Every structure is written in C-alpha cells, then in structure tokens.
C-alpha cells in the first residue's frame, strides 16, 4: 500500500512521453556511487496491522483517561468539547496549507481573523498573529521583536525567574547568536522589585508570567508599576499568561503589557505528550510591523464584497528574506483553529465558568492538603489553579505511590529550583471531581503516615 | 453570500458547551484581580457547527482536488494516520509524566529517530523542531556551536544560493550570521566559480536545497561538498525537497553534515491550513553532540527501556517539551505502512509525475531550465502573443478549472515563476486534466485575455484588494 495510483501501463506511457526508457533513467544525475542505497526500514504493514501495533504501543503508557491527573506546569488537562475535533477533522481545513490563494482559502482566512479577534479580546491587546509553535517560542519571538523595536540598540532581556523554565531556556537558545544578555535568573532577584532593579537603558524587554510558573498571582497594580518602570527605561513589557485564567483575571492589556504571549494548548488542544500545541502572540498595534508570523486582514474583493487576506507580508521571510522579522513559515494553524472552536463553544459564559471551576477546585484541594500532617501549602499570594506543596518525603517517591492509587501527582520543583527540593506543584482543573480531590487527599495522608 | 463573522451571529446568553456544576465550596476571589468584561462570542452549538462548516466549504484542500503548490509537497494524507494520532493512550499523556509511564511514546519516538537516521544516512536525529524553518534555525545554531567549540569564532558567513527558500536567509539572520548569496549557473546549479570565490576561513557553511527549488539535482554536488569542506565550512541540507529522494540516495552520502526533514511534506502529515508541521534535524557523527534535546535513547542495549537525554553539547532546547508528538505518530504510521520499497516507489512516482507534466507543459509555457527534473519544476507564466498576461492571471484562471494554482513568483530567479509539484499521489488522469486546463488557458490568453484578468469567476469572492488590507489595517473584529 503506497497511496500511489499508477499501474505499470501508466508508468510505461508516461516514461515514453518523457522520452526515457525506464524509471532509473530519471535518476542518472545522482552520482552512481550513492544511488539506490539499501534502506533498512521494516517491511510494509497493512492498516489493520499498524493500528493494532500502535494501540499496543499506547498501552505501554499510563493513559490519563484512567488516572486522575494533578500535573500541570505548562501543559494542562482540560475538557475538550466534541465539536472541536469534529470541526478540525473537516478535511477542507486540515488538508489545506497556508492561504496563499485567498479566493480558495476564505475558510482558513476568516477562521484566523476570528482567532486573532478572540485572542485580542482575551488578552486586552490590539493585534494577534496566527500562532507560533508553542508558548516557549512565542516568548523567544517576543524578545526578538523587542530587540527589533529597539533597532538593535538594546541587548538585554530581563526575564523573571518564574517564567516557565523551558521558555527561559528557549529564549537562551534562540538568542545565542544575537549577542543578547538574558538576566533575571534567581541569583539576587527577589520578587518583582528585584526585577525592577535590573532594568536599565540597555533593556529591550521585561518578561513576567502571571500566574507565574509556581502558580502565584500578582496584582494588576503591582504589575502596572513594573510596566511603568519598563516603559520609563524605554523597554517593552511582556506578559506570559495561561489563557484559561483570563476567563477570570484582568487581561494584561489593562496593566501595561505591550506584548502578551502564552501557551494556547489549554484552549481545546489535547495534552498529546507535549505537542502539537500553539503559541499565541498579541501586541499593541504600534508594534505590528515588527511582529513575526502570519496576519490576516479584512479587505474587499473586486465586487466590493468583504473578504480576508494575509497582510503585511513584507515582514515575512518569503518576501523579505534576511531582513524578515522572523524565519517562521509553517505555524500551528490547525491548533489555532481548535483554540478558536473551543473559545466559541465555551463563549463568554463558558470560559468564565471553566476558570471558576479551576479556581475553586484548586483552592478546595489546597485547603485540604494543607491540613494533612506533614504537608503544607507554601506562600501567601493568591493563586489560580496551581499551588506549591511542601512534602514530607521525596516528590519522586511520593508520585510513585500516588500512581499505584490511580493518581498522577504534581510536578517536582527540584527539577528547576534546587531551593524548592521537596516541593511539588499541584494543578487542579475542571477535570478533577471532588471525589478525585478527596481521594488524592486521603492517599497523601495515608502515604505520609 | 459570504459567511458572517462569528461575532455577528453572537447573542447574549447563548452557550455552545455545558460544564459540570461546581461540586466544592466556593473560595474567595481576589477582587482586585478580576476582569470586568470578556468579549467572546455567545452562540449555540448548532450555530457554531454551521458557521465552521460553511467556512470549510469555501476552502480548498488536498481532499477536494489537485493542489500542485510547488515546494509544499501537498500529497494525499492517509486517513489511518489521523486515527493513529487520536489513539487515546497517545493523546491523553502529559509531557511531564514519569518516563516509566510513557514508554510507548518514547519507543515510538526512538524508532522514528532511527527511521529518519536511516533515510538520511545520518548518525542521529532530534525530533524537537516544530517545522522546517525551525529545523533550519536549529541546524545553523549547531554549525555555530561546532565552530565555536573548536575555538573558531571568526566564521560569520553563511552561503546561500539565490534559488533558496526565504527561510534560509531569515534563519541565518536569527543565528547572528551574514548571508552571502550565490548565483546559479545556466543549468540551474550553484555557480561553481562564485562558490570557490566565496569559500574562505570566514565561512560557517553552505545551506543547500538539493534538489533545489527549481526541482533540479545539482550536477556538481560532490564538488560543492568538497569545496565547502575544504575551507572548513559545513554543508547544511534544506530537506524541504526530500520527497524526491527516499531510497534514491542518502543526503549524508553526498556530504551533508546536518539536515532537517519536513514530516508534514515528505511523510504525509496534513498541512492543517498552515501547520502544525514537524522539522526533525539529522546530523553526522561530528555534529550529533550539538543537537537540541531532549532526544530519546535506550537505557541500555539489553533492555527495552527508553529515556529522554540531552546531547552532550546541545545547543539547548528549541521549544517546550520534545517536539510535535502527534505529528510524529502520523509520520511513523506512514513510514511503517510504506516500508522501504513503498518509500522508494513514492519518490519514483513523484519524480515521474513531475517529469511527465514538465515534458508536456514545456510545449505551451517557457521552461527556463530544460533538463530532467526531480519532484517539481518551474515554468515561466508567460504566453507568446499575450504580452499582458502574468503568472498570477494564469493561476487565478486555473481555479476556474478546478485546480489549486502552483506556487507563484518563487523561486525569485525565474521571471513570472509557476512552480509545480504534483506529488506521487496524483493519477495520470488528474495530470492530463491539469495539462489540458493549462493549454486551454494559454489559448484563452490570446483570444480572450480579459477572462484571465478577471479570474477567478467561480469562487465565493473574486480577487481581493491586498493593498487596501495593508493600508487600512483591520486585523480583528470590533463592535460598530
């Protein structure tokens, strides 16, 4: 089975038309010494066989459908309404590519325009692009955009130590050839005041996450003060957010953000072992010409009818080449469509409701866990749906015990913050029923005693 | 009749999804942190479904018809891949689950790494990059790390042929290097004299697409590799055109040191209206230790236990987690279903289809580089006796005949380029119908040029005013 339709007669006739004797004649330009190497790939299997094999392989995983999951840390277990997969499975959407021919792509273009509109509404921004690869690469592109906005005159990025550690690592990978200094790792940085002290005339941007990687929320007034400090130094203020939290919380646009980025996966995309996800990216309109990625704009056709096209392409690699704002071409279009369908399905009331479910359930869990002997919930800041728990035993061992009880436990913070060894980050969403939370609490109590 | 925007069919109080009731006590909300308003649409589920179905019907996809968009490899996407990627035991796994609980995922990734190693002839592969351009950027950073590791920091130039994808120079800039453009010779190869003149001890490497964007296999590939390596540079392979060479040759055998693969092109994963893709990177022995990670390794040779590891001198991570896993599942299923023979047959038929179209269409449209092509070729969108007809007019008229147009105006080195990539999944009947349409259009260009200028005529909207879109920026819905 090779999904090729030709019979031997077809091939014969086509070779005759081309004017060659056999298939091998098409490849004589390839140096003979490297031509037709052996390819050690297993023998072809049928559809039935591959599905059976993959199902068997998937059974070696702990399927979260059979566990209650309290793990978040950047990838979140949310309910995905049935309409999402139904719509993104329409092959007119998923077998299309970038809408270079607008007359044949109004479906893709209008859905992107609507996605841009909803991301702007959610974040309080004026412009959103059609997606990046994930939250981490959105963060890296935000730094590059800030450098571009400063026309190369500023070489420093102040990055909160509580931005997702993998976002920080990605920023460092992306900018390693650009001569950029990434500051704000934990040494000497305490709270937002510590970050503020690092801002100077070399600073291109200041990046914070809210809720931060440890789940903590900062008040809009305090974030606004940081934004003002960044602006006073001529730097851009970048905020990374969990989009579900914005069902409840003040959007970063209202506390001075110039760029808002984040992981879009919680919006209607499954966990999928880390991908494909989507990075959302929104900013103030004054910076749009330095933005990366596809943008869809409204216009009219020759008859005056409303329609949509890719616009401001002069920012992009296929037009500007080495002077482009980014090299991005393929993005995460179908994941952005899933996010759109999710936002429409939930709508205004639904997104608020999901955010509230996460908030109240997480607080219920935190309160109960905090009462277990040996455990304590750390910190006095408000949180959204993740919180830090100090454990009486090694989180790795604790998680193994939880797993035996059908629970996927929290994130071991020692991975990224050595000073938080023995601490776990628990996440609660609408997927965790009260019974699940009670079971977690009972199990923790039992394990600790 | 165009479909209204979702905001325009919104009515207060409607909701398209019902969630469970709150089953725990309410906690106090932080009042100073709460938003006042959330402007998302409010529609019922049936409104939602009709809206998106109506929009989908204004779109063109591979499942609807021929999509010969050059350089994008719009081959048929087997439906079993979609089913495979939706197996709950794959979908419902968290990237931070303990590795012992995701051994199925890790084994699949390990084997896919191995398949790609074998296909490219490389020593190792990282599956982390999310797209082709992401893979290119990865590759250049690896070349940079290689030189710096040797203490050689004076190399600042990346050589790029003028036929290259725009992502190549853009990735070069992002890596902090300077691009030096190389001209092509009359036969569409890299100009060897220009290459020799550019090669010195300031060259990081050459980024080469082979076959190139003209669909031509470079006739001097072995000398190119030698010249680049002789000056201490490295050879980067843009794997965008890998669909021409599965089982035909292995890029590492031609001297490529590092290369990205596009799983969404060569290995049939759907393009999704712009993505997601997947752009794994392969490297020879000397560059493997710089690969981004984590990548998957066996815990030891005796056991079937897999683990995530960071290559020794990794450039770092290119994104969160391990790459676009859902795309890897699709590509894995595809490779297993084709096997070695099937992969080779796919490339052969891709090259056969392109040459068949080229042989017949060059009688009607100018072919600037008249020699056997690989999986795609580039015509000039010009018609003798119809001076005011442009490639764009031909493309738009093709839509009326039920075909997606080829890539327009790329590569830049061909005037009025029409870049055609049929892929192996198209039948002879489809190719013949496409040829007939292009022949008819050439005739119309002479007899009734207005028909082309005003095309397309069959789509929900006609040609759109792109200048207005860029001038009167309207990038989101706003209430009137």
Mean pLDDT of A296-321: 94
Residue A190 has pLDDT above 80, yes or no: no
Query: In this complex, do A345 and B45 lie within 8 Å of one another by their Cβ atoms?
Result: yes
Distance from CA of A299 to the nearest CA of B (A): 5
Tell me if chain A has a CB within 8 Å of the CB of B43.
yes
The shortest CB-CB distance from A39 to any of B58, B87, B344 is to B344
Strand (E) or helix (H) holding A182: strand A181-183
Task: Just give the CATH number of B81-336.
Answer: 3.40.640.10
pLDDT in tens, A56-95: 999 999 999 999 999 999 999 999 999 999 999 999 999 9
The nearest alpha carbon in chain A to B23 belongs to A434
CB contact burial B140-179 (16+ within 10 A = b; e otherwise): bbbbbbbbeeeeeeebebbbbbbbbbbbbbbbbbbbbbeb
Note whether B219 contacts A29, CB cutoff 8 Å.
yes
B19 contacts in chain A (CB < 8 Å): 79, 350, 353-354, 357, 430
- Tell me which residues of chain A, numbers 238 to 257, contact chain B at a CB-CB cutoff of 8 Å: 246-251, 254
> Cα distance from A449 to chain B (closest Cα, Å)?
24
Best CA proximity match to B293, nearest among A126, A265, A169, A435: A169
CB of A9 less than 8 A from some CB of B: no
Which phi and psi (to 5°) does residue B312 adopt?
-50, -50
pLDDT band at A187 (very low <50, low <70, confident <90, very high): low
Q: Residue A1: pLDDT above 90?
A: no
CB pair distance less than 8 Å for B61 and A102: no
- In this prediction, what percent of chain A has a pLDDT beyond 90? 93
What span, in angstroms and rounded, lies between the C-alpha atoms of B293 and B321? 9
Q: How far apart are CA A364 and CA A352, in angstroms?
A: 18
Nearest by CB to residue B52, choosing from A127, A300, A341, is A341
pLDDT at A169: 98
Is B43 within 8 Å of B9 (Cβ atoms)? yes
Using the Cβ of B238 and the Cβ atoms of chain A, whether some distance falls under 8 Å is answered with: no
Chain B residues within 8 A of A405 when measuring between CB atoms: none
> Does B442 reach chain A within 8 Å, measured CB to CB?
no
Contacts of B5 in chain A (CB under 8 A): 110, 113-114, 117
Task: Count interface pairs A-B at CB distance under 8 A.
Answer: 692
Are A36 and B103 a contacting pair at CB < 8 A?
Answer: no
Q: A93-128: buried (b, 16+ CB within 10 Å) or exposed (e) per residue?
A: bbbbbbbbbbbbbbbbbbbbbbbbbbbbbbbbbbbb
User: Could you give the CA distance from residue B276 to residue B262 in angstroms, rounded to a whole number?
Assistant: 11
Q: Which of A4, A3, A58 is nearest to B79 (CA)?
A: A3
Instruction: Determine contact: B310 vs chain A, CB below 8 A.
Output: no
**Within chain B, which residues score under 50 in pLDDT?**
none
- CA–CA dist A127, A143 (Å, integer): 17
- Residue written as token pair 């496409």: B434
Instruction: List the CATH code of the domain at A83-342.
Output: 3.40.640.10
Non-local (6+) Cβ contacts of A12 within 8 A are: none
| Cα nearest neighbour of B273 on chain A | A97
What the block records as the tokens of B258 is 């590092």
Strand partners of residue A308: A298
A12 reaches B (C-beta below 8 A): no
> What pLDDT is recorded for position A448?
85
Identify the sign of the CA torsion B469, A326, A243, B326: positive
What class, spelled out in words, does domain B348-453 have in CATH? Answer: alpha beta
- Which residues, numbered 325 to 364 in chain A, qualify as contacts with chain B under a Cβ-Cβ cut-off of 8 Å? 326-335, 337, 341, 343-354, 356-357, 359-361, 363-364
Distance of residue B6 Cα from the nearest chain A Cα, in angstroms: 7
How far does A314 lie from chain B, in Å, by closest CA? 10
Chain B residues closer than 8 Å to A252 by CB? none
Q: What is the pLDDT of residues A346-397, one digit of tens each?
A: 999 999 999 999 999 999 999 999 999 999 999 989 999 999 999 999 999 9
B192 in contact with chain A, both atoms CB, cutoff 8 A:
no
- A408 has a chain B CB within 8 A of its CB: yes
Contact A45 B29 (CB under 8 A): no
Q: Which residue in chain A is spatially nearest to B30 when comparing CA positions?
A: A382
pLDDT at B1: 58
pLDDT > 70 fraction of chain A, expressed in percent and rounded: 99
Residues A224-250: tens digit of each pLDDT: 999 999 999 999 999 999 999 999 999
pLDDT given for residue A185 in this prediction: 85
Which phi and psi angles does A388 have, rounded to 5°?
-90, 135
User: Is the bond into B294 cis (omega within 30 degrees of 0)?
Assistant: yes
Domain parsing of chain B, residue ranges = 81-336, 348-453
* Residue contact A133–B130, C-beta within 8 A: yes
Q: Chain A closest CA to B213's CA: distance in Å?
A: 13
Place of tokens 């009818």: A305
Task: Choose the mutation target among A96, A382, A403 for the interface with B, i.e. most B CBs under 10 Å.
Answer: A96
Q: Look at residue A342 and give its three-state secondary structure.
A: helix
pLDDT at position A192, please? Answer: 85
Q: Give residue B17's pLDDT.
A: 82
Any chain A CB within 8 A of the CB of B35? Answer: yes
Quote the pLDDT of residue A186: 73
**Every domain of chain A and the residues it spans:** 64-78+351-448, 83-342
Residue numbers of B between 107 and 146 with CB closer than 8 Å to A: 107-108, 115, 118-119, 121, 130-134, 136-137, 140-141, 144
A-contacting residues of B 198-217, CB under 8 Å?
217
Q: Which residues of chain A from 151 to 190 reach within 8 Å of chain B, CB to CB?
A: 164, 166-167, 169-170, 172-174, 176-179
Q: CATH: 3.40.50.720, 3.40.50.10330, 3.10.450.40, 3.90.1150.10. Which one for A64-78+351-448?
A: 3.90.1150.10
| Rounded Cα–Cα distance for residues A104 and B59 (Å) | 5
Structure confidence at residue A317 (pLDDT):
87
The residue whose two tokens read 């005529």 is B457
The three-class DSSP label of residue A239 is strand
On whether any CB of chain B is under 8 Å from the CB of A375, the answer is: no
CA distance B217 to chain A (A): 7
How far is it, in rounded angstroms, from Cα A113 to Cα B471? 17
Say if the Cβ atoms of B177 and A177 lie within 8 Å: yes
Structure letter (DSSP) for residue A388:
E
Kindly indicate the confidence band of residue A33, based on its pLDDT and cuts at 50, 70 and 90.
very high
**Chain B environment of A331 (Cβ under 8 Å):** 131, 274-276
Q: B264 contacts in A (CB within 8 Å)? A: 330
Radius of gyration of chain B (CA): 25
């Amino acid at each position: 089975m090779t999904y090729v339709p030709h019979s031997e007669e077809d091939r014969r006739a086509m070779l005759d038309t081309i004017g060659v004797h056999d298939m091998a004649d098409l490849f004589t330009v390839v140096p003979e010494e490297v031509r037709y190497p052996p390819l050690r790939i297993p023998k072809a299997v049928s559809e039935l066989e591959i599905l059976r094999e993959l199902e068997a392989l998937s059974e070696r995983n702990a399927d979260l459908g059979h566990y209650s999951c309290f793990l978040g840390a950047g990838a979140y277990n949310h309910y995905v309404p049935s309409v999402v997969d139904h719509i993104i499975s329409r092959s007119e959407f998923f077998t299309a590519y970038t809408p270079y021919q607008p007359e044949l792509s109004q479906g893709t273009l209008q859905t992107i325009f609507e996605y841009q509109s909803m991301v702007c509404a959610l974040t309080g921004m004026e412009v959103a692009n059609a997606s990046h690869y994930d939250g981490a690469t959105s963060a890296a592109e935000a730094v590059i955009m800030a450098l571009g906005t400063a026309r190369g005159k500023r070489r420093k990025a102040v990055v909160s130590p509580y931005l997702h550690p993998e976002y920080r690592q990605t920023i460092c990978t992306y900018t390693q050839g650009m001569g950029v200094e990434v500051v704000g790792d934990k040494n000497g940085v305490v709270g937002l005041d510590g970050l503020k002290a690092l801002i100077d005339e070399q600073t291109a941007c200041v990046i914070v996450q809210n809720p931060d990687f440890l789940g903590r929320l900062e008040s809009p007034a305090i974030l606004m003060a940081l934004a003002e400090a960044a602006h006073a130094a001529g730097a851009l203020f970048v905020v990374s957010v969990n989009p579900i939290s914005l069902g409840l919380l003040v959007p970063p646009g209202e506390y001075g953000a110039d760029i808002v980025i984040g992981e879009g996966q919680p919006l209607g995309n499954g966990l999928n072992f880390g991908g494909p996800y989507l990075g959302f990216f929104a900013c103030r309109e004054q910076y749009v010409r330095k933005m990366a990625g596809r943008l869809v704009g409204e216009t009219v056709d020759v008859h005056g009818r409303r329609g949509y096209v890719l616009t401001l392409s002069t920012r992009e690699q296929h037009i500007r080449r080495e002077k482009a704002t980014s090299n991005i071409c393929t993005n995460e279009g179908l994941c952005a469509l899933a996010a759109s369908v999710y936002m429409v399905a939930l709508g205004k009331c639904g997104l608020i409701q999901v955010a509230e479910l996460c908030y109240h359930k997480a607080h219920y869990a935190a309160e109960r866990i905090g009462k277990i002997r040996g455990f304590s919930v750390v910190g006095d800041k408000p949180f959204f749906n993740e919180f830090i728990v100090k454990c009486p035993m090694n989180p790795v061992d604790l998680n193994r015990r939880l797993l035996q009880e059908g629970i996927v436990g929290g994130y071991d913070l020692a991975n990224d913050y050595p000073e938080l060894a023995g601490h776990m980050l628990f996440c609660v969403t609408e997927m965790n029923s009260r019974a699940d939370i009670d079971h977690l609490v009972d199990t923790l109590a039992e394990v600790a005693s | 009749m165009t479909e209204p925007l979702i905001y325009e069919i919104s009515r207060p109080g409607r909701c398209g999804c019902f969630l469970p009731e709150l089953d725990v006590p309410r906690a106090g909300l932080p009042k100073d942190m709460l938003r006042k308003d959330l402007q998302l649409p409010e529609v019922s589920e049936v409104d939602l479904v009709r809206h998106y179905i109506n929009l989908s019907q204004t779109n063109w996809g591979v499942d609807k018809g021929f999509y010969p968009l050059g350089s994008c490899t719009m081959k048929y996407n087997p439906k079993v891949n979609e089913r495979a990627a939706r197996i709950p035991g794959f979908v419902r796994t968290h990237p931070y689950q303990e590795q012992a609980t995701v051994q199925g995922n890790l084994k699949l990734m390990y084997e896919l790494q191995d398949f790609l190693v074998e296909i490219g002839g490389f020593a190792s592969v990282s599956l982390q990059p999310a797209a082709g351009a992401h893979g290119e950027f990865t590759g250049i950073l690896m070349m940079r790390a290689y030189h710096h590791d040797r203490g050689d920091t004076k190399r600042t130039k990346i050589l790029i042929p003028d036929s290259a994808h725009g992502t190549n120079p853009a990735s070069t800039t992002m890596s902090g290097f300077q691009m030096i453009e190389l001209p092509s010779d009359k036969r569409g190869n890299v100009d060897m004299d220009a290459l020799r003149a550019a090669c010195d001890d300031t060259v990081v490497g050459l980024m080469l697409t082979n076959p190139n964007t003209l669909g031509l296999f470079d006739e001097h590939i072995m000398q190119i590799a030698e010249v680049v390596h002789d000056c201490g540079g490295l050879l980067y392979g843009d794997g965008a055109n890998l669909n021409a060479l599965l089982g035909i040759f292995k890029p590492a055998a031609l001297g490529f040191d590092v290369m990205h693969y596009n799983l969404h092109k060569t290995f049939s994963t759907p393009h999704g209206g712009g993505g997601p893709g997947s752009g794994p990177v392969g490297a020879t022995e000397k560059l493997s230790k710089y690969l981004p990670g984590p990548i998957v390794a066996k815990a030891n040779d005796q056991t079937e236990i897999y683990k995530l590891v960071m290559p020794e001198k990794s450039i770092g991570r290119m994104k969160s987690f391990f790459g676009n896993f859902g795309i890897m599942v699709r590509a894995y299923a595809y490779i297993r279903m084709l096997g070695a023979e099937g992969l080779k047959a796919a490339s052969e038929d891709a090259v056969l289809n392109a040459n068949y179209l080229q042989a017949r269409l060059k009688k009607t449209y100018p072919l600037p580089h008249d020699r056997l092509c690989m999986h795609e070729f580039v015509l000039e969108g010009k018609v003798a006796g119809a001076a005011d007809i442009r490639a764009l007019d031909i493309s738009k008229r093709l839509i009326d005949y039920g075909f997606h147009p080829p890539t327009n105006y790329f590569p830049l080195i061909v005037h009025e380029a029409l870049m055609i990539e049929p892929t192996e999944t198209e039948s002879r009947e489809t190719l013949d119908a496409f040829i007939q349409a292009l022949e008819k259009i050439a005739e119309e260009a002479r007899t009734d040029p207005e028909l082309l200028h005003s095309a397309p005529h069959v789509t929900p909207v006609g040609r759109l005013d792109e200048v207005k879109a860029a001038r009167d920026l309207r990038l989101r819905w706003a209430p009137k």
